[in-house]
């Protein structure tokens, strides 16, 4: 097998792993990977705003609003006016949201983070360089992407 085939197989395995995780997440807790990441961020914060989520995920506030709207409809988060600044709205996780986090499969990106963090600095740098090169080869360097491993068509997909 030549290197071109080996590289295409590796890319296909990565895409397949993200697809399988997305399906498992959807079946177990009925959330997309992006919705689940928002839920995790909200659960980890005492006072979380859409702006803070947007900054952390590196996506637009409008996209966060759409994701939060879906989580509100699923009764996994609630919006509440801030007691200290009435112009601000906090997003809080509900008990149903906490159960979804507990019941969800181990997120793919958390597996990646654990294994990536265990690598030597030079290995991390080499991997980042290789992944950035792959993104460039696919003309994907300008595509807006959050740090969420998901094969969904967009972050706002239900």
pLDDT of res. 148: 61
Quote the tokens at residue 132.
């950035």
Q: How many CA atoms lie within 13 A of 148 on its CB side?
A: 28
Q: Average the pLDDT over 92-105 and give the result.
A: 93
Res 151 pLDDT > 60 = no
Distance from C-alpha of 12 to C-alpha of 95, rounded to nearest angstrom: 37
- Give the pLDDT band (50/70/90) at residue 33: confident
Looking at residue 48, what DSSP letter applies? B
Segment among 23-27, 29-33, 137-141, 152-156 with least mean pLDDT: 152-156
Say whether pLDDT at 64 is over 90.
yes
Per-position DSSP letters for 61-110, written without gaps between them: HHHHHHHHHHHHHTTSEEEEE-SS-TT-EEEEE-HHHHHHHHHS---HHH
Nearest-CA neighbor of 39 among 83, 132, 29? 29
Residue 142: HSE in the Cβ half-sphere, 13 Å Cα cutoff: 1
Q: Is the pTM of this model over 0.85?
A: no
Domains in the chain (CATH in brackets) are 3-137 (1.10.10.10)
């Amino acid at each position: 097998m030549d290197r071109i085939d080996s590289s295409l197989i590796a890319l296909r395995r990565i895409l397949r792993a993200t697809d399988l995780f997305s399906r498992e997440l959807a079946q177990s807790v009925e959330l997309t990977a992006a919705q689940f990441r928002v839920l995790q961020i909200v659960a980890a914060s005492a006072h979380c705003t859409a702006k803070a989520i947007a900054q952390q995920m590196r996506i637009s506030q409008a996209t966060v609003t759409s994701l939060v709207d879906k989580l509100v409809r699923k009764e996994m988060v609630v919006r509440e006016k801030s007691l200290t600044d009435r112009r601000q709205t906090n997003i809080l996780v509900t008990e149903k949201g906490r159960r979804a986090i507990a019941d969800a499969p181990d997120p793919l990106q958390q597996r990646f983070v654990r294994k990536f963090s265990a690598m030597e600095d030079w290995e991390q740098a080499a991997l980042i360089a290789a992944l950035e090169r792959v993104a460039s080869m696919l003309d994907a360097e300008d595509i807006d992407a959050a740090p969420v491993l998901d094969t969904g068509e967009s972050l706002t997909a239900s």
